[in-house]
Structure 1
């Protein structure tokens, strides 16, 4: 069964980078979707009045702590419960800054210099590929919306689009062959079939771990699914014309006359297509309906047909394996 798929990130491997405070982006260090990102790399610089205020509160706390420790004198800190509480509170304040996207180096700089850092650099929490970039330099950002999304490219999904009737013929575990840019096709198994329809389409999924370099996110690939054999009325694929208004065949009416008739097409293999309705079994149709509709569609096909002046007729019967 032939189909096509799109290479998409594994949903479970994506993380959204969202600011923990409101502010303005002063500078972006990443610029486009698909850009590789390394863990610890600076993603953007942000100015936030809320964060500056939090830094000043931290300075006040450090100053108060220093004064209290000096007043304690030589008394052992372990024997002074108040001092121990103060140290624990200091650790909590530090952790609060870490949760607000300040890295440990920035916090140490704050403690050593005693001055606020108005523009803070935010670094990537992991390595991967940029799959979404929702802002520009100068944008106002808040915790309500992610700034960007990073995906781990070591695991990808092949999102396979199935035509009408195809989803009922496949099941998880069916063998799948995928043709990417590489010279060798990839063999895999069908992992999931989405029970929700997308119009008259359905979607299935193949999960690939450490995919070949020829499989790039966003690319389209050809897919062949080896579904279980079943009996069906079939026609050559060339006998069916797919249009924006439906699928049609050219029904023979006798005396060289043909009539376009809409059919309900099902699964398609390498050279045959299942016919689920629209014509009766045994009906005669043109083996290449496209030729009748557009004689100039293919010069090579036209020359080949000149060798046989008689019209080729086929019957809607047979089985699909």
Structure 2
């Protein structure tokens, strides 16, 4: 059974704790609203009254009976007198009646000349120009296999000195690649010296060169020619053979020289290594001519024709470009991935296209006449492509268009625009934000009370403070309305 005295002492404490908890919860929720939004939350009743007064103000402004003011950041805030936004504190912007544009039922936005200058609006006419279908891809630079040299020793031996330091080193024709010590090459030199000695002895004798002597001399001449060719075929340089013929001294170490210019691709031996004809010492390739391999997808191949121009930009030096013609006879299609590989030969005299590097490839299809506008004028959204079209006297409208091919500067317009119409090339996002602001305000009107008149915002003296003009307000609001 509960003690009455205990109950009398505990019950007031519980009541006090409950009251404190309720007060703390209210204060915490109020503080959280202020901390998360940067301002105190607007009560629901006040918001309802604000919305009703806002709809009345907008309706009156559309009918020309009164003026209305709105916040660029919170278009739901509309009142019939100047002031500041109760939510964010920004200066309210005046709403004016711009009237219907002749013959156009679509909503317009009006921006005066002063505001256009501050926004930096630049207009340009839609025109018929030559358009190319551009295909952007990447090319892999590979060496020309026909200019690759594999250096294999012709005899067995040991590498005494290796004059190539590593992969990527440039070598020149006649440069010594390595020096080899080979007993077999020494024996071939001795055999050749013996033939030279016998031939000279036969020519220096007093015997007449007739009959058997003449046949013996002819046989020695043929044998000497074969022995000399064997020395040259064993990579013994010509100057070493000529020195052997003069001095009759055997060279213990034979230098092996490069047959052409190139860049070393691999090295498989080092100084002191034992090598034989089955082993590749090094590989080098003439890099003055390379192949560009471009990978394309099936939908891109359908645009290609033989003779189309392709522009290759070096990945090592962006200032170097090469223009070439496409030859579809080199096109190869992978049966598994359906991807196509296009190979083009490139003259690489300036060494800007190195094997293994990448290059940017732009394929220009055949030119055709098309109605086009600058690419910067196009507004791409999830609901389609739009242009801000000038209607004259400071009026602008959003126009949905259908686009076609594109290049680096212009985009083709297939529908929704006529030649000669003015479009906004820059600051179109600010103009589009103003149109979106107007559309949101029109949606706040009661059903059946709307008109075709365009309500627009223009700067007022109160909004001329830094950071509070119409251009900045629409700029901040553009991202929220798109």
Give TM class, smaller chain: 0.5 to 0.7
Paired residues of 2:168 and 2:264 also in contact (CA < 8 A): yes
Give the aligned CA root-mean-square deviation in angstroms: 3.4
Q: Residue deviations 1:109-158, cap 9 Å, x none? A: 33344343221101111223323333322233232343333333332221
Paired residues of 1:128 and 1:152 also in contact (CA < 8 A): yes
Q: Residue deviations 1:68-97, cap 9 Å, x none? A: 334x42535898232122122212211111
Map of 1:282 onto structure 2 = none
Map of 1:206 onto structure 2 = 344
Q: Which runs of structure 2 are paired with 1:108-187 in the superposition (5 Å)?
A: 108-163=242-297, 166-167=300-301, 169-180=303-314, 181-183=317-319, 185-187=321-323
Q: Residue deviations 1:31-77, cap 9 Å, x none? A: 2233222221111101122222222322333343344334x425358
Of residues 362, 366, 375 in structure 2, which corresponds to 1:224? 362
Map of 2:479 onto structure 1 = 308
Structure (1 or 2) with the greater strand fraction:
1
Matched, 1:193 2:193: no
Map of 2:120 onto structure 1 = none
Greater RCO between the two (CA within 8 Å, min separation 6)? 2
| Residues 269, 120 of structure 1: alpha-carbon distance in 2 compared, 3 angstrom cutoff | farther
Paired residues of 1:172 and 1:193 also in contact (CA < 8 A): no
Q: Residue deviations 1:228-254, cap 9 Å, x none? A: 79xxxxxxxxxxxxxxxxxxxxx99xx
Distance in 2, Cα, partners of 1:184 & 1:114: 54
Q: Which structure has the greater CA radius of gyration?
A: 2
Distance in 2, Cα, partners of 1:15 & 1:118: 26
| Residues 225, 23 of structure 1: alpha-carbon distance in 2 compared, 3 angstrom cutoff | same
Aligned residue for 2:290, secondary structure, equals strand
Distance in 2, Cα, partners of 1:306 & 1:136: 69
Tell me how many residue pairs correspond in the alignment. 242
Q: Which runs of structure 2 are paired with 1:23-38 in the superposition (5 Å)?
A: 23-38=157-172
Distance in 2, Cα, partners of 1:269 & 1:18: 53
- Flag structure 1 segments of 5+ consecutive residues without an equivalent: 230-250, 253-267, 272-303, 313-321
Map of 1:73 onto structure 2 = 206
Paired residues of 1:7 and 1:221 also in contact (CA < 8 A): yes
Paired residues of 1:26 and 1:137 also in contact (CA < 8 A): yes
Distance in 1, Cα, partners of 2:242 & 2:302: 60
Structure (1 or 2) with the greater helix fraction:
2
| Residues 118, 212 of structure 1: alpha-carbon distance in 2 compared, 3 angstrom cutoff | closer
Distance in 2, Cα, partners of 1:142 & 1:112: 30
Paired residues of 1:167 and 1:193 also in contact (CA < 8 A): no
| Residues 28, 165 of structure 1: alpha-carbon distance in 2 compared, 3 angstrom cutoff | farther
Of residues 208, 221, 232 in structure 2, which corresponds to 1:98? 232
Distance in 2, Cα, partners of 1:198 & 1:221: 25
Aligned residue for 1:308, secondary structure, equals helix
Aligned residue for 2:479, secondary structure, equals coil
TM-score normalized with structure 1 length: 0.63
Distance in 1, Cα, partners of 2:180 & 2:479: 74
Aligned residue for 1:109, secondary structure, equals helix
Distance in 1, Cα, partners of 2:160 & 2:477: 69
Paired residues of 1:171 and 1:193 also in contact (CA < 8 A): no
Distance in 2, Cα, partners of 1:19 & 1:172: 45
Matched, 1:45 2:154: no
- Flag structure 2 segments of 5+ consecutive residues without an equivalent: 1-134, 368-381, 384-404, 409-474
Paired residues of 2:288 and 2:351 also in contact (CA < 8 A): no
Aligned residue for 2:345, secondary structure, equals strand
| Residues 169, 132 of structure 1: alpha-carbon distance in 2 compared, 3 angstrom cutoff | farther
TM-score normalized with structure 2 length: 0.44
